[in-house]
């Protein structure tokens, strides 16, 4: 026969009565729970029924007078109205907690919650108070849901979940350390936010043991506070509190998404490894590096946004920069592997009095279309030689300023001494600067005594150009000269630039470059000054005659001292001789 069992389920009761030796009576009772046959047990769902606040262990406020506190039971806060249910028990275990009333609050006061089934689904408020609360359960925080970790309290998450709402750390910005902690590898997906609402450790994210936090692509961590734990960011980390600082510190981080300063400051004092999709972005705000290492990925800035290397040195390896980077006086930046610069690397940006260096580790090329600025003389703004350091300044890259080059450097781009008119130095005559065919030495001339120069070093010149710009009202006179590469007595200059490009001069004057054993000199001279010593005399005639005699009917360039291809048609013939003879006879 069937009788009605608990929770509305039919129960089949079978009585079997039969003879047995000794007139024994056998009784067999079987229960089949479920509809139409045997099946698994279902969790008992128990709802809060009181419109007023109370504690979890008040049985009268739960449906059926039964407190949900055991495996196989689930708690539901769905009754409308504003009320708080407070759980004070040290540890409790059940299958699930579901909050469907957006005005309901579940207050957990330093408890450990073990949910064995569907976990915690929050569409209202979960308030963490009274010390450390541990949630050992998967969780879903809906778009209406909020987790509030109160001042001085800790929420430890042991399992992954989805956050489409808000997880707020110290929402009232209290004065004590407030923590969201992860003891296991945890992933938080969803479109929600984790907000840090107080400076430094007063709102912090930490990890302990083997713990880590991985955020999904649409998850945001924002505000001011501290991220000290292991973080694998696939979403957005955002410093957006004006005057506030979001600290990225202690444990190493990996970035597959975006770390952005926009309104607030990002301060990085740990190691960040970036995937090729990873970006650190300064949008009108500051990203500071203090004893930090950045490996891979991209950095960007816009508006007044800056990436600034602070008082202790930091390191960039394999970084693509579309940013304005400032290296502060008294600090250093170490570059290694590859560095592509489409922005500005500003060394000693405020021209402070302390040493400021960019160290180059190993042979490396700086490519891109950006610029390096050295804003103070000597070691005040220095490109320095790290272990195995050799620098190639790639095509399109510009080095300018008044600082110092202190390592072997190959120039494929532009060197522009001075910040207006000034001197860029090479630290030692044994430091070699190699000029390639794509290189340019860009100099400004303000007067016969005031002009740009590169001082010191030894120079191997394999072509390239010298570009001349006149500043102010200066008008160069015939045979004015400017030593634009000014070597020391022990410097060695070999080779020549291909061309000197300057503003128009009175006919037939020309810009020329002359060479000594130690220097490169630019000046204004006559076309027949073929040896570029900035005087037209019999030596020019003899030098040309000697070159022509050995080069006639040969392709240009040709000639050990001067080029016999006087008319520049790439072939040495009688026309070159006649043109030179005519120009020499006329003088200037």
Query: Tens of pLDDT along 347-393?
Result: 999 999 999 999 999 999 999 999 999 999 999 999 999 999 999 99
563 closest CA partner among 581, 575, 551: 551
The stretch 466-484 carries a mean pLDDT of 97
Q: Which comes out higher in pLDDT, residue 263 or 557?
A: 263
Confidence of residue 43 (pLDDT cuts 50, 70, 90): low
Residue 234 has pLDDT above 90, yes or no: yes
435 closest CA partner among 496, 373, 491, 345: 496
pLDDT value of position 16 = 32
Radius of gyration of the CA atoms of the chain, in A: 39
Any idea which of 10-24, 72-86, 479-493 has the lowest mean pLDDT?
A: 10-24
Measured distance CA(38)–CA(28) in Å, rounded? 17
pLDDT value of position 354 = 96
Measured distance CA(388)–CA(376) in Å, rounded? 25
The stretch 186-211 carries a mean pLDDT of 98
Please compute, for residue 454, the number of CA atoms within 13 A of its CA located in the half-sphere on the CB side: 31
Residue 5 has pLDDT above 50, yes or no: no
579 DSSP 8-state letter: H
Strands (E) across 16-87 are located at 44-47, 54-55, 73-77, 83-87
The stretch 315-327 carries a mean pLDDT of 98
Confidence of residue 560 (pLDDT cuts 50, 70, 90): confident
- Burial label, 119 (beta-carbon count in 10 A; 0-12, 13-18, 19+): buried
Confidence of residue 42 (pLDDT cuts 50, 70, 90): low
pLDDT value of position 261 = 98
- The structure's pTM equals 0.89
pLDDT value of position 37 = 38
pLDDT value of position 89 = 85
pLDDT value of position 465 = 98
Measured distance CA(428)–CA(272) in Å, rounded? 36
Strands (E) across 492-570 are located at 493-496, 499-501, 510-515, 519-525
The stretch 517-531 carries a mean pLDDT of 96
CA torsion 119-122-125-130 (nearest 10°) is 10
What tokens appear for 125 in the block? Answer: 């408020």
Residue 9 has pLDDT above 60, yes or no: no
Q: Which comes out higher in pLDDT, residue 52 or 40?
A: 52
Confidence of residue 185 (pLDDT cuts 50, 70, 90): very high
The stretch 529-544 carries a mean pLDDT of 94
The stretch 176-203 carries a mean pLDDT of 98
CA angle 208, 313, 378 (to 5 degrees): 180
Measured distance CA(196)–CA(190) in Å, rounded? 18
Residue 515 has pLDDT above 70, yes or no: yes
Residue 540 has pLDDT above 60, yes or no: yes
Ramachandran angles phi, psi of 576, nearest 5°: -65, -40
Measured distance CA(469)–CA(441) in Å, rounded? 11
137 closest CA partner among 349, 147, 355: 147
User: What is the tally of helices (H) and strands (E) in the chain?
Assistant: 2, 58
Listed in sequence order, the DSSP H helices in 103-188 are none
pLDDT value of position 21 = 37
Ramachandran angles phi, psi of 202, nearest 5°: -70, -15
Q: What is the DSSP string of 313-360?
A: -EEEEEEEEESEEEE-TT-EEEEEEEEEESSEEEETTT--SS--EEEE
pLDDT value of position 40 = 39
């Amino acid at each position: 026969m069937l009788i009605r069992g608990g929770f509305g389920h039919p129960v089949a009761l079978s009585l079997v009565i039969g003879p047995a030796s000794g007139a024994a009576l056998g009784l067999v009772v079987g229960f089949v729970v479920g509809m139409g046959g045997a099946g698994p047990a279902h969790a008992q769902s128990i709802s809060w029924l009181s419109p007023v606040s109370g504690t979890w262990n008040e049985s009268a406020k739960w449906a059926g007078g039964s407190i949900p506190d055991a495996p196989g039971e689930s708690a539901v806060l769905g009754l409308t109205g504003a009320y708080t249910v407070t759980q004070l028990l040290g540890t409790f275990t059940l299958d699930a907690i579901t909050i469907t009333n957006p005005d309901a609050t579940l207050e957990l006061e330093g408890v450990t919650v073990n949910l064995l089934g569907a976990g915690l689904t929050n569409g209202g408020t979960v308030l963490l108070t009274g010390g450390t609360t541990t949630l050992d359960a998967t969780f879903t925080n809906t778009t209406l849901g909020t987790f509030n970790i109160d001042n001085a309290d800790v929420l430890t998450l042991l399992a992954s979940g989805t956050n489409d709402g808000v997880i707020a750390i110290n929402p009232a910005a209290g004065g004590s350390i407030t923590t969201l902690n992860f003891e296991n590898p945890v992933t938080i997906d969803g479109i929600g936010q984790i907000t840090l609402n107080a400076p430094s450790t007063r709102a912090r994210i930490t990890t302990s043991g083997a713990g880590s936090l991985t955020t999904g692509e649409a998850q945001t961590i924002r505000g001011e506070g501290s991220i000290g734990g292991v973080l694998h960011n696939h979403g957005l980390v955002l410093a957006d509190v004006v005057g506030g600082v979001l600290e990225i510190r202690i444990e190493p981080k990996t970035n597959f998404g975006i770390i952005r300063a926009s309104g607030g400051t990002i301060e990085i004092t740990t190691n960040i490894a970036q995937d090729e999709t990873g970006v650190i972005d300064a949008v009108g705000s500051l990203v500071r590096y203090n004893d930090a290492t950045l490996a891979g990925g991209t950095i960007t800035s816009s508006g007044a946004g800056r990436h600034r290397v602070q008082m202790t040195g930091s390191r960039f390896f394999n970084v693509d920069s579309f940013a304005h980077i400032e290296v502060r006086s008294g600090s250093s930046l170490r570059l290694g592997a590859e560095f592509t610069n489409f922005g500005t690397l500003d060394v000693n940006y405020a021209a402070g009095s302390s040493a400021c260096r960019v160290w180059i580790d190993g042979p490396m090329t700086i490519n891109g279309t950006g610029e390096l600025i050295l804003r103070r003389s000597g070691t005040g703004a220095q490109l320095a030689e790290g272990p195995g350091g050799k620098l190639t300044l790639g095509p399109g890259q510009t080095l300018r300023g008044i600082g110092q080059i202190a390592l072997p450097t190959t120039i494929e781009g532009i060197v522009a001494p001075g910040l207006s008119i000034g001197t860029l130095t090479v630290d030692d005559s044994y430091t070699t600067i190699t000029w390639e065919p794509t290189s340019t030495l860009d100099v400004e001339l303000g007067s016969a005594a005031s002009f740009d120069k590169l001082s010191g070093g030894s120079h191997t010149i394999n072509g390239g150009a010298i570009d001349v710009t006149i500043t102010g009202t200066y008008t160069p006179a015939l045979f004015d000269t400017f030593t634009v590469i000014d070597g020391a007595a022990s410097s060695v200059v070999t080779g020549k630039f291909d061309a000197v490009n300057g503003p128009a001069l009175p006919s037939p004057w020309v810009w020329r470059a002359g060479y000594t054993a130690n220097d490169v000199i630019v000046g204004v001279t006559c076309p027949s000054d073929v040896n570029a010593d900035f005087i037209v005399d019999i030596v020019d005639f003899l030098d040309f005659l000697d070159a022509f005699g050995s080069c006639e009917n040969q392709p240009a360039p040709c000639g050990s001292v001067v080029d016999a291809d006087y008319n520049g048609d790439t072939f040495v013939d009688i026309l070159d001789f006649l043109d030179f003879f005519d120009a020499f006879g006329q003088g200037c």
